[in-house]
Structure 1
């Protein structure tokens, strides 16, 4: 019986050549540990420059009228939270006024403001965009752009037009994501 097994094995391995080295070829190049360490170090260095968010579209701006009320929430955000926001029941911790700015200046200022609010772990802010009709009779430009930008910004969970005492349809309360700093009690 054993001779039979041996002859079967010999028949199966006929033509196979023994390996001349004891290392497996994994096909990956050797990792440059110094380069990897420098890349990791560069990734941990914090920059004081505000975060510039690419991919925000100005190509399609949602046109809104001066008296239109704005309200929006990201998927997953409870409708009750946006209702509280609209009623002014979530206190805003910062405020920004974009009156009289060009669209590009308003955009830069808004992103810098959100960068600072994120760094400080702020939950809610007020953005005053105004609602003045333009000279050419078209709808408010800054209000329309803010309405569009806020929907695209990754830190924005939702927004709603303010109560009259805080600017009415000329301003929005904006609810922001927080990363919850270590040791902070909530």
Structure 2
């Protein structure tokens, strides 16, 4: 009997606490966000797909460009590249088997051309190439544009082991020797 009395007390207590509360008719929570326009979302997805097909993704970023001066010597090596190899590269002792001149190109054209050039050199197992970026002072007085971009892009390219400014006879601070990764064809030694 006491159990029923206890139950009645709980029921009346619950009813008292729930006085003035209205039952929720909708079982979905209102997050405060506007409802998604599914038609607009489908259109955005379609446009993104179309645009992505026209963009060449090469991994070379322009988010942060390392500004360099016209006469600055460039030198960079990936971790693990022997300093002796970089010294040979700087002294012009590793012959370059290909050369690319980026003079007069827009930044976008230079990026595309550089990416394609390195891809082709890699395909042919080329060890070293020369990239002429120039060092012309810009009309607005800022640092050389293509040289700064090349300096940044080469550091990002997975096939580049290191690069250094050329000897004067090969372009000096207006060009770089670039040492590339090779997959080592059968029977070919370093």
After superposition, the CA RMSD in angstroms is 1.2
Q: How far did residue 85 of structure 1 move?
A: 0.5
Q: Deviations over 1:91-148 (max 9, x none)?
A: 0000000000000000000011001100100000000000001110100000000000
Q: How far did residue 185 of structure 1 move?
A: 5.1
Q: Deviations over 1:45-83 (max 9, x none)?
A: xxxxxxx65432201000000000000000000111111
Matched, 1:146 2:150: yes
Residue 78 of structure 2 contacts residue 162 of structure 2 at CA under 8 Å; is this kept in 1? Answer: yes
The equivalent position to 1:71 in structure 2, one of 75, 86, 90, is 75
> 2:178 aligns to what?
174
Distance 2:188 2:84 in 1: 25
The equivalent position to 2:135 in structure 1, one of 122, 125, 131, is 131
> 1:96 aligns to what?
100
Q: How far did residue 175 of structure 1 move?
A: 0.2
Distance 1:53 1:122 in 2: 23
Q: Residue 76 of structure 2: SS of its match in structure 1?
A: strand
> 1:82 aligns to what?
86
The equivalent position to 1:118 in structure 2, one of 115, 122, 143, is 122
Distance 1:117 1:167 in 2: 20
Residue 160 of structure 2 contacts residue 180 of structure 2 at CA under 8 Å; is this kept in 1? Answer: yes
Q: How far did residue 84 of structure 1 move?
A: 0.8
Residue 58 of structure 2 contacts residue 115 of structure 2 at CA under 8 Å; is this kept in 1? Answer: no
Deviation >3 Å, runs of 4+: 52-55, 183-186
Q: Residue 100 of structure 2: SS of its match in structure 1?
A: strand
Q: What TM-score, normalized to structure 1?
A: 0.70
Distance 2:184 2:57 in 1: 21
Alignment: residue pair count: 135
Q: How far did residue 180 of structure 1 move?
A: 1.1
